[in-house]
Homo-oligomer: A and B are copies of this chain.
Amino acid sequence: MGSALVQRYAAALGARDWDAFATLLADDVVYRLPQTGEVVRGREAFLRYNREFPGAWELTVLDAYGDERGGVLHGDYGVGESQVGVTVLRFAGGRVAEVVDYWPEPYEPPAGREHLTGR
């Protein structure tokens, strides 16, 4: 069930099908961006955030897993250049109750572990 909910979430988001997307969300869904501290509270506000999100993006699903409590959407939103996002979803009552979104950026490997890793 959870896995299917992640996949419906990804499909509706990727298609910008906001009517379908809305049906997956709890009324009091909370959207969190821990990297900036931003929070969006409630279905209408979260729908508006998504509808008005600027720029061209296309979702390519890399991984979508979940159980009855929550799941993960690992996606690439880039057009041309890759822009990976990782979204942790928490479910309640068969709907998405919390969405925690991460946008990891490239960085140089720390020195001292070259002997442990390759490229």
Determine chain A's interface SS by DSSP, over half rule: mixed
* Contact in complex: A69, B74 (CB < 8 Å): no
**Residues from 88 to 102 in A contacting B, C-beta threshold 8 Å:** 88-90, 100, 102
Per-residue B-contact encoding for A22-64, CB less than 8 Å = 1, 0 else: 0000000000011111111100010011001110000000110
Give the bracket for the number of chain A residues in contact with chain B: 35 or more
* Contact in complex: B108, A107 (CB < 8 Å): no
**Residues from 76 to 115 in A contacting B, C-beta threshold 8 Å:** 84, 86, 88-90, 100, 102-109, 112-113
- Asked if A72 CB lies within 8 Å of chain B CBs, one says yes
B35, B41, B108: the one contacting A106 at CB < 8 Å is B35
| Complexed CA–CA distance, A65 and B35 (Å) | 21
| Complexed CA–CA distance, A49 and B113 (Å) | 8
* Contact in complex: B106, A45 (CB < 8 Å): no
